[in-house]
Amino acid sequence: MKNKIVWVVVSCLMVLSLLIVSCEEETKKTTVDEGDDTVKITTSEEKLTVDDEKDEAVETPKGPQYGGTIKIGTSFEPRRFDESHGWTTDALTMKLTHQELMMGDWTLGPAGTGQVDWAQGSIRKIDLETGCIAERWELPEIGTVIFYIREGVTFAMDPDNEASVLVGGRSITADDVIDTLTLYTTNFPIAMISMGDTRFSTFEKIDNMTVKATLPVTAFDDVGILGDFASIVAPEVGETFGLPLDWRYSVGTGPFMLKDFIPGSTVTFARSPNYWEKDPIGEGMGNDLPYLDGVKLLIIPDDSSRQAALRTAKIDNLLGVGWENANELRKRTPDLMSKKYFAVAPGAIWMRTDKADTPYAKKDVRRALMMATDFETIKETYCGGEAQILSWPIVEMKEFKDAYLPLEEAPASVQELYVYDTAKAKTLLANAGYPDGFKTRIDCVSTAADYLAIIKDMWSKVGVDLTIVPYEGSVFSGIVWGRRYEDMVYTSPGPVANLYLAYWYVSGPFGANMSYVDDPVCVAAKNKMMNLSMIDPAQADATNKELMAYVLDQAWAIPAPATPLNNFWWPWIKNYHGEASLGYDNTFNYTKYIWMDEALKESMGY
């Protein structure tokens, strides 16, 4: 069975015939046409020939180069253009046009020390952040943060944008920061940032360039939400043009300006003429940023079509490619460069442990279901042989390596949960009062049904009769966020960035505590991490690692093995190493540091 594990927001698969095999061979050529403001995917028959003579080496310019436009393929279409309404993740254009108080530190990534890969967007860790709109910050006590706003940061000046003309390229001030954060945290429950304890924050203007924020002590890690998940805006834009904002009125302090948006097709950005940031490291250190003239997102929902566009160099960069497609890309287009990484378990089975009349309210039943799941077989067949079996609550990754408990270091009572043992599972079920097993149901998004069919078959061997109830994506999202499931649900655990909040076993109605855990050990550990994560991240990591031994023993969730994802790019993209997001959910913000080697691209025949 050549299925892949599907994460909850990934598009469905179609198959198109793609290009590049070998000499004198009939093949199909897939092309991407951007004419007439649309993206069209077509295939045609073409005979490929390869010259026996190798091209002479082409001398290409060395060092940073200004100019050019990078084209990036994506399945996601921006649904909003401000963060005051709906999911912040829907407003993806703001990661290029706007900025936050903090940002992930480029100098700690592959371009610098290599402490972090920045290959995925779920990293939010205070010791990996640097100043952005806030030049620096202080933490005078737990519950308080003071942001010092950077001098000379101005809103983009675009004479073709009515909102930009209104703002007039003015400098950002403390008032902008306070007005923005107040809007986001009080617009409950419409703004995503208001859906956690961040909504209890208060803000005070110390002077024109200084802001004091006060947060609940029990949610102090949300400094990272205020600092690295909230794009600062000019309030007069919303007041004048209304919220939610239309894309035509997008104006921020970011490196690029939004110039055009064609739904279902393209998003076009141009270089901001008055951007403030300098290149912080490497051969371009001190240079004005960005290097590129522009960024163009090509919205291509179908997996096969995105890969075709990459193979034919109609796009330069593609993020988050699954293992099956990545193997094919490497095989058929060896000139492509790539970065492999692990981000999050694609899903986990959660159980209503709060309902005393359900079987999984009993620990022995939950442990039995773990032992009835053959993780190794799933890894070797469904996952293609490369996967992390211990993938919840977090996967093993460089950025949080000290917060992760490897299976070989876990107590024996945890290790045995990952060993397929139907005899022991039956014994545990009998001890819990279910000698003949039981019937149950699981709600899921339709794309997860194939994986759960494997689980259904495995569990049937210990007498558990699982009914799979699939839903269309938007309907299922309503079930998950509305907590409208009565037995089991299969959904993603959510970002690793929330580990210090004990997001999976302490959080309330807006977190990922999908098994309704209410446990004093977890609450105590979470409160301890809230006192540490902002001032001593190493100790917070150690606390989480210790907590994992306890949490895993409870078997509150049954995770799917985590398979690697991959970021691809052509070698003419320079100063790039596979980054996807600097900081928390800042996809594409790496584009301000990269440049295009147009001569190399031409020498490769594109």
Whichever domain contains 292, its CATH number is 3.40.190.10
Note the pLDDT tens digit of each residue in 143-155: 999 999 999 999 9
Q: Mean pLDDT over residues 378-390, rounded? A: 96
Q: Give the separation between CA 498 and CA 513, rounded to whole angstroms.
A: 12
Which position has the higher pLDDT, 49 or 436?
436
Query: What single string gives the DSSP state of each residue in 57-102?
Result: P-----S-----EEEEEES-----SSSSSB-GGG-TTHHHH---SE
Same domain, 255 and 369: no
133-157 residues labelled b (16+ CB within 10 A) or e (exposed): bbbebeeeeebbbbbbbbeebbbbb
pLDDT at 47 > cutoff 60: no
Q: Is 375 exposed, middle or buried (0-12, 13-18, 19+ CB in 10 A)?
A: buried
Give, for 566, the enclosing helix (H) or strand (E). Answer: strand 565-569
Domain that includes residue 400, residue range = 348-559
Same domain, 107 and 146: yes
Note the pLDDT tens digit of each residue in 479-490: 998 889 999 999
- Residue 508's pLDDT is 66
Residue 185 gets the label, from left (phi > 0), alpha (psi -120 to 50) or beta, of alpha
pLDDT at 156 > cutoff 80: yes
Q: Give the separation between CA 206 and CA 147, rounded to whole angstroms.
A: 10
Whether omega before 509 lies within 30 degrees of 0, making that bond cis, reads no
Alpha-carbon distances of 331 from 4, 99, 311, 337, rounded to whole Å = 18, 38, 11, 12
Q: Which of 36-40, 100-104, 194-198 has the lowest mean pLDDT?
A: 36-40
In the block, tokens 């020498």 appear at 603
Residue at a domain's end among 541, 559, 577: 559
With bands split at pLDDT 50, 70 and 90, how would you rate the model's confidence at 36? very low
Q: What torsion do the CA atoms of 369, 374, 375, 376 make, to the nearest 10 degrees?
A: 160
Query: Above pLDDT 90, what percent of the chain?
Result: 83
Contacts of 95 (CB under 8 A, 6+ apart): 231, 254, 581, 585, 586, 587, 588, 589
pLDDT at 50 > cutoff 70: no
Asked whether residue 129 is assigned to any structural domain, the reply reads: yes
Identify the CATH number of the domain in which residue 463 sits. Answer: 3.10.105.10
Asked whether residue 384 is assigned to any structural domain, the reply reads: yes
* Rg of the chain, C-alpha, whole Å: 25
Handedness of CA 107, 112, 116, 117 (dihedral sign): positive
Beta bridge partners of 581: 587
Asked whether residue 12 is assigned to any structural domain, the reply reads: no
Asked whether residue 40 is assigned to any structural domain, the reply reads: no
* Dihedral pair phi/psi, residue 69, rounded to 5°: -130, 125
pLDDT at 30 > cutoff 50: no
Note the pLDDT tens digit of each residue in 538-586: 999 999 999 999 999 999 999 999 999 999 999 999 999 999 999 999 9
Handedness of CA 525, 528, 534, 538 (dihedral sign): negative
Asked whether residue 337 is assigned to any structural domain, the reply reads: yes
HEC secondary structure over 394-450: CCCCHHHHHHCCCHHHCCHHHHHHHCCCHHHHHHHHHHCCCCCCEEEEEEEEHHHHH
Same domain, 125 and 261: yes
Asked whether residue 37 is assigned to any structural domain, the reply reads: no
CB atoms within 10 A of CB 523: 15
- Residue 368's pLDDT is 98
Which position has the higher pLDDT, 348 or 483?
348
Domain count, the chain: 2
Q: Mean pLDDT over residues 310-332, rounded? A: 97
Same domain, 365 and 392: yes
Same domain, 402 and 322: no
Q: Mean pLDDT over residues 349-377, rounded? A: 97
Provide the mean pLDDT of the chain.
90
Same domain, 326 and 353: no
Nearest to 249, CA basis, from 166, 176, 162: 162
pLDDT at 334 > cutoff 70: yes
Same domain, 236 and 270: yes
Which residue type, as a one-letter code, is found at position 200? F
- Residue 45's pLDDT is 34
With bands split at pLDDT 50, 70 and 90, how would you rate the model's confidence at 510? low
Beta bridge partners of 549: none
- Residue 53's pLDDT is 36
pLDDT at 32 > cutoff 90: no
Note the pLDDT tens digit of each residue in 14-29: 323 322 223 323 333 3
Alpha carbons within 13 angstroms on the beta-carbon side of residue 501 total 26
Note the pLDDT tens digit of each residue in 423-474: 999 999 999 999 999 999 999 999 999 999 999 999 999 999 999 999 999 9
Same domain, 369 and 353: yes
Residue at a domain's end among 559, 575, 592: 559
Same domain, 376 and 409: yes
Q: Mean pLDDT over residues 362-389, rounded? A: 97
Apex CA 174: angle with CA 171 and CA 177, to 5°?
Answer: 95
Asked whether residue 231 is assigned to any structural domain, the reply reads: yes
Q: Give the separation between CA 80 and CA 475, rounded to whole angstroms.
A: 20
- Residue 60's pLDDT is 59
Query: What single string gives the DSSP state of each residue in 455-487?
Result: HHHHHHTTTEEEEEEEE-HHHHHHHHHTT--SS
Same domain, 578 and 540: no
Same domain, 154 and 99: yes
Alpha carbons within 13 angstroms on the beta-carbon side of residue 514 total 29
Same domain, 374 and 436: yes
